[in-house]
Amino acid sequence: MRKGLRYFLLSALLLAVFINVLAWNSSTFCDFYVSNIFPVWLNTYGKWTSRFPFSVGEIMIVLAVALLIVFVVFTLIAVIFLMSKKTKQKQGKWTSKAEYKWLRFRRNYGRYNAFFASLLVAITWIMTLNCYILYHSTSFEEKYWEDVVTKDEYTIEELGMLRDFVVTRANQYAKMMERDENGLILYDGNMEEEAIRAMQNLGEVYPQLGGFYTTPKKIAASGFLSQQYMKGYYFPFSLEANYNDVMYIMSKPATMCHELAHTKGFIYEDEANLIGFLACLHSDDILFQYSGYLSVLNYIDNDFYKSVDENKQIYNSHVKISAQVKKDRVFLTEDAWTKVEKKAVISTKTLKKASDTFTNTTLVLNGVEQGSASYREVVGLLLDYYICMDDVRMKEEYMAQLTDEGLK
């Protein structure tokens, strides 16, 4: 590697480290970046990646794996070459022809090392600009609900009210869905476009969520994603919102909105869950509205069950989740799981464990102390939204729905 390139890469890396340290210590800097600079990438580079009908990020992952394999192979060859050189030199069998081959290989290996080092620095910068800084900006709740007097703790009764409300709404929507002869939900709309409309509708209430959105992209390797129990992911290198196309239809709307929330700078999972839920409710499409309630139902229901110390008598005294809702909230249908397992190269159990470890480690390193558990922190945000927000119309509607169902 040439000295000039080495100094440039080192300087770039140190600058990236400095920006990360600044981000960890200054939410003001992060807020300025999220409001004024991050949208520039989305409105330029994001628009370019949206032109492709496939996930650009998925192609990048495949290329990255290929490059890593080439690097490992090159390194192994270099080690073998060097060991052979030392052995033959001791034996006096190292010829000028062999020296020529070694020098040519070392030159090519040096070029690849320079390329790989440049790529690593570029990755550091992209992750810094499109991910790491976002973790340290002002939260959604602080930004838009600063005047709301929230509680540090909620009562079991309040959690029960929220749980019963969501269950009731889900039960109602389940009856409104169009289904096939097997009871599976049918949908003939453009889900990607509706997800963008839903997010833009929500942007009228929360300005940071307004403006241009990249097109949600389905993942070709959705079966592999399913083995990790992943519904989707935001890919910083392409600024894309990707979703699992194998999962059941009812998970798709909320997942698309969740991942689109990340492209607007809300990187925390609990915030993205809340935004995905609210966006679905701001959609005119009843399938999206139903998906919104289903997306938070498990979190709320599980928290409530634990809050009553798993007392089945108390739990069963509340509104029951209908049999149809239980079927609709599945991750994958049985047929889909069969196809996934049939094509699997690595066992689902192994992949799931590796995925959980990676996700949890990544979140913790970015200051999310709860790790993967941060996904279920949305329950607290929902309680803040429904119980504490100073929105008379919303509260009246909420209580009216509870009264209509005999829950008050």
Are 207 and 351 within one domain? Answer: yes
Are 109 and 156 within one domain? Answer: no
Are 92 and 200 within one domain? Answer: no
Are 93 and 147 within one domain? Answer: no
Range of the domain at 51: 3-136
pLDDT band at 106 (very low <50, low <70, confident <90, very high): confident
At residue 377, the pLDDT reads 83
Residue type, 269: E
pLDDT band at 234 (very low <50, low <70, confident <90, very high): very high
Closest CA to 213 of 222, 225, 201, 221: 201
For residue 235, what are the β-bridge partners? 240
Question: Tens digits of per-residue pLDDT, 385-406?
Answer: 887 664 444 455 555 555 555 4
At residue 116, the pLDDT reads 86
At residue 396, the pLDDT reads 53
At residue 374, the pLDDT reads 38
CA 168 to chain centre: 28
At residue 122, the pLDDT reads 95
Q: Is the pLDDT of residue 371 over 50?
A: no
At residue 360, the pLDDT reads 65
- The answer to which of 76-90, 116-130, 325-339 has the lowest mean pLDDT is 76-90
At residue 17, the pLDDT reads 96
Are 146 and 92 within one domain? Answer: no
At residue 22, the pLDDT reads 97
- For every residue of the chain, which 3-state class applies, written as one string? CCHHHHHHHHHHHHHHHHHHHHHHHCHHHHHHHHHHHHHHHHHHHHHHHHCCCCCHHHHHHHHHHHHHHHHHHHHHHHHHHHHHHHHHHHHCCCCHHHHHHHHHHHHHHHHHHHHHHHHHHHHHHHHHHHHHHHHHCCCHHHHHCCCCCCCCCCCHHHHHHHHHHHHHHHHHHHCCCCECCCCCECCCCCHHHHHHHHHHHHHCCCHHHCCCCCCCEECCCHHHHHHCCCCEEEECCCCEEEECCCCCHHHHHHHHHHHHHHCCCCCCHHHHHHHHHHHHHCCCCHHHHHHHHHHHHHHHHHHHHHHCCCCHHHHHCCCCCCHHHHHHCCCCCHHHHHHHHHHCCCCHHHHHHHHHHHHHHHHHHCCCCCHHHHHHHHHHHHHHHHHHCCCHHHHHHHHHHHHHCCCC
Are 210 and 257 within one domain? Answer: yes
Q: Who contacts 192 (Cβ-Cβ below 8 Å, separation ≥6)?
A: 215, 216, 256
- Domain edge (last residue) among 105, 136, 167: 136
- Measured at the CA of 349, the angle between CA 346 and CA 354, to 5 degrees, comes to 80
Helix axes 286-307, 269-281, angle to 10 degrees: 130
Residue 272, CA distances (Å) to 226, 227, 260, 372 in order: 20, 22, 8, 13
Residue of higher predicted confidence among 360 and 271: 271
Residue type, 399: M
Q: Is the pLDDT of residue 99 over 80?
A: no
At residue 289, the pLDDT reads 96
Q: Is the pLDDT of residue 299 over 70?
A: yes
At residue 301, the pLDDT reads 95
Cβ–Cβ < 8 Å for 187, 287: yes
- Domain edge (last residue) among 136, 169, 197: 136
Are 149 and 84 within one domain? Answer: no
Beta strands 240-243; 217-218: pairing state: parallel
Per the structure, how many domains does the chain have? 2
Are 111 and 258 within one domain? Answer: no
Are 242 and 365 within one domain? Answer: yes
- Domain edge (last residue) among 109, 136, 163: 136
Are 58 and 147 within one domain? Answer: no
Are 131 and 150 within one domain? Answer: no
End-to-end CA distance of the chain, in Å?
A: 72
Cα Rg of the chain (Å, integer): 26
Average pLDDT of every residue of the chain: 86
Cβ–Cβ < 8 Å for 298, 326: no
Question: Tens digits of per-residue pLDDT, 47-81?
Answer: 999 999 999 999 999 999 998 888 888 788 878 87
280-286: average pLDDT: 96
Are 161 and 68 within one domain? Answer: no
The proportion of the chain whose per-residue pLDDT surpasses 90, expressed as a percent, equals: 62
At residue 399, the pLDDT reads 54
Q: Who contacts 340 (Cβ-Cβ below 8 Å, separation ≥6)?
A: 223, 226, 227, 246, 332, 348
Q: Which two tokens stand for residue 269?
A: 């999972």
Question: Tens digits of per-residue pLDDT, 307-350?
Answer: 988 889 999 999 999 999 999 999 999 999 999 988 877 767 67
Residue 208, CA distances (Å) to 88, 166, 203, 281 in order: 66, 27, 7, 18
Q: Which two tokens stand for residue 5?
A: 């390139």
Q: Is the pLDDT of residue 354 over 60?
A: yes
